[in-house]
Homo-oligomer: A and B are copies of this chain.
Amino acid sequence: MNKVTNRQVRLRSRPTAIPQAEHFEIVAHPLPGIGPGQVLVRNVFLSVEPAMRGWVSAVGNYSEPVALGAVMRSFAAGRVEQSRAPELPVGTWVTGIFGWQDYCLVSPADITRQIAERDLPLSTALGILGINGVTAHYGLLEIGQPRAGETVVVSTAAGSVGSCVGQIAGLKGCHTIGITGGETKRRLCRDRFGFDAAVDYKSVDFETQLAQACVGGVDIYYDNTAGPISDAVMRHLNPGARVIICGTASIASWEPAPQGPRVERQLLVKRARMQGFVIFDHPEHDQPARRDLAAWIRQGKMNYLEDILEGIEQAPDAIAGLYRGENLGKRLIRIAPL
């Protein structure tokens, strides 16, 4: 038995919509001893994802729901503090699905990767060089297949995935239009993330602004919302358009599925394709995506924002906060000194 106390954020009750603070509880207990072949990781950064809503949902999804009473599933980045696995010596920096807790006892097989980009901030391992950047890279390039000169529209364009999508599209020679909420985020899209145009979906003349921004039609729509924003974009599809379904942030509950304008006719007359993906299906894409992204960051061609909360006490309300739109950039929780 270690002498260290491990704080864990556990799922206390199962939300039917967006998980709120009351669905979690923080429990502290002594850490068990390290077993043969194991390592003890001390988490420094915990990740907060919109997709966590799905991970705690009982309804059909792309991963098993987190069990009641279990530690909340989460990506984390940390340092090996104790090791009984020779390939992972003390001091190795790693990422993995370590959960919302201070420490995690794992086998080497549970390590997602050793962090190679030690010249870049550790936090990037969970954002632009983690699931967010790889998701943007895979969805846009593999599913969207952008060609130079095409128009790419991105929803949640100031977010950690959307801002990366817009910048990659720009690097590939596309005309980029970001959709986001509020003037602050709209300016971020233009000034920080280099979108050619940015439209505020909260403005009263959103549809007119959007129509003006994509007057030449939309070749690729990278969507993270699935609501009225998408309905507006779908009307502007060009022949051969690709609609990439990455997330459904604007819909509070899918039981039952909310109604919206049927898309079949538009897909038919525009010979368009609408396709969903889940990045966990494509681990082979991690390394090439991260190589591209790290290079672009080092060359000053890729910007990213992080919204770092301090202390594990912030965790229970952190998902709800994402859906309240209070973050700017990738949300992380720092729970230990670097």
Contact = CB atoms under 8 A, between A and B. Distances in A.
Contact of A264 (B223, B256, B269): B223
Interface stretch (A96-104, A197-205, A273-281): A273-281
Nearest to A272: B276
Nearest to A264: B226
A268 B262 contact: no
Interface in A250-297: 251, 254, 256-278, 281
Interface string A237-253: 00000000111100100
Contact of A271 (B259, B263, B276): B276
A268 B257 contact: no
A60 interface: yes
Interface string A50-94: 000010000011100000000000000000000000000000000
Given A226-B262, A226-B265, A274 B275 contact: yes
A124 interface: no
A151 interface: no
Contacts of A262: 226, 251, 257-260
A273 B275 contact: yes
Contact of A268 (B247, B256, B259): B247
A261 B267 CA distance: 16
Interface in A206-260: 223, 226, 230, 245-248, 251, 254, 256-260
A271 B281 CA distance: 9
Contacts of A259: 259-262
Nearest to A256: B261
How many copies the complex holds: the figure is: 2
Nearest to A282: B271
A269 B60 contact: yes
Given A226-B264, A262-B251, A61 B257 contact: no
Contacts of A248: 264-265, 268
A313 to B, nearest CB: 32
Contacts of A256: 261
A84 to B, nearest CB: 37
Contacts of A251: 262, 264-265
A264 to B, nearest CB: 4
25 contacts: A54-B269, A60-B269, A62-B271, A226-B262, A230-B264, A245-B267, A247-B268, A248-B268, A251-B264, A256-B261, A259-B261, A260-B260, A263-B274, A264-B276, A266-B276, A267-B274, A267-B275, A268-B277, A270-B276, A272-B276, A273-B274, A273-B275, A273-B276, A274-B275, A275-B275
Interface of A: 54, 60-62, 223, 226, 230, 245-248, 251, 254, 256-278, 281
Given A257-B263, A257-B266, A274-B274, 18 more contacts: A54-B269, A61-B269, A62-B269, A226-B264, A226-B265, A230-B264, A256-B261, A258-B261, A259-B260, A259-B262, A263-B263, A264-B276, A267-B276, A268-B278, A270-B276, A271-B277, A271-B281, A273-B276
